[in-house]
Homo-oligomer: A and B are copies of this chain.
């Protein structure tokens, strides 16, 4: 197979020899272990630079906000998988991450791109309200959902969104993107005919982008955070299993409506 012209032959993340491990240009054992938090390290791994105190606070807040929300489908997928293969924790983690799906994990990134499109118009001298209106209508015309607004359970207010913006105000990083996110929330009732409140997947990119976190790395935040929640559920599953209860309840909720041989009576769950 020929390797295309776009292929690279190098990586800038880590190197090592017998006595030293280098991560993003730092000596891991001497400069990083014990000196920085895991959140700092995640920022460093992704961007190659160390976060400021404000950036660390914002990244911590977003990771905490999105890590856990109960028995969501991906957690059920993970717990059912662990029940089926108790010895393979990493298989259950992998299945749970797949079960998060693009819908959950992609929302923050999609909202970030939506805000970036509005920010680009503002940067090109559009008035903020006009810019927001224009991009909302563009999404509507293309029948794309407005990412970052509305939640099936938290209909009037997503409390995580409010807290994230309070943290941004506290550390002084609130700026253009949070402004855009709030502007969109105000415009939606008129433009789409119903109120849709800002949800956590809208607040995360707004807070992170204002803090200088790179747009291209947004998707990493919900994936890492959800992995933490998933691990907690899987360790609980090992101690008090609910995986089979979940699958039993699932199959009891669905009936067979295909053809049957004569005299066949499906089992009642």
Q: Chain A: residues with CB nearer than 8 A to chain B?
A: 1-4, 6-30, 32-34, 36-39, 41-42, 45-46, 48, 57, 59-61, 63-65, 67-74, 76-77, 80-81, 83-95, 97-105, 152-157, 159-160, 162-164, 166-167, 170, 216-217, 219-220, 223-225, 227-229, 231-236, 238-261, 264-267
Q: State whether A11 touches B228 (Cβ < 8 A).
A: no
Q: State whether A219 touches B89 (Cβ < 8 A).
A: yes
Shortest Cβ distance from A28 into B: residue: B160
Closest 6 CB pairs of A and B: A84-B101, A25-B259, A85-B101, A12-B258, A29-B159, A15-B256
Q: List the B side residues contacting A2 at CB < 8 Å.
A: 152
Q: List the B side residues contacting A9 at CB < 8 Å.
A: 242, 245, 253-255
Q: A84-B99, A153-B18, A256-B15 are in contact. Are A41 and B6 (CB under 8 A)?
A: no
Most chain B C-beta atoms within 10 Å of own C-beta, residue among A105, A248, A250? A250
Closest Cβ of chain B: how far from A262's Cβ, in Å?
Answer: 10
Query: What is the copy number of this chain in the assembly?
Result: 4
- 6 A-B pairs whose Cβ atoms sit less than 8 Å apart in the complex: A8-B245, A9-B255, A80-B99, A88-B91, A90-B101, A94-B97
Q: A8-B245, A34-B61, A103-B85 are in contact. Are A258 and B48 (CB under 8 A)?
A: yes
Shortest Cβ distance from A268 into B: residue: B17
Q: State whether A229 touches B70 (Cβ < 8 A).
A: no
Q: State whether A11 touches B231 (Cβ < 8 A).
A: no
Closest Cβ of chain B: how far from A56's Cβ, in Å?
Answer: 8
Closest Cβ of chain B: how far from A211's Cβ, in Å?
Answer: 13
Q: A164-B33, A242-B9 are in contact. Are A70 and B248 (CB under 8 A)?
A: no
A74 to B20, CA, bound (A): 21
Shortest Cβ distance from A154 into B: residue: B18
Q: State whether B19 touches A156 (Cβ < 8 A).
A: yes
Q: List the B side residues contacting A225 at CB < 8 Å.
A: 38
Q: State whether A229 touches B45 (Cβ < 8 A).
A: yes
A216 to B231, CA, bound (A): 12
Q: List the B side residues contacting A264 at CB < 8 Å.
A: 15, 17, 20, 22, 27
Tell which of B22, B38, B60, B241 touches A63, judged by Cβ atoms closer than 8 Å: B38
Q: List the B side residues contacting A155 at CB < 8 Å.
A: 18
Tell which of B21, B92, B234, B261 touches A27, judged by Cβ atoms closer than 8 Å: B261
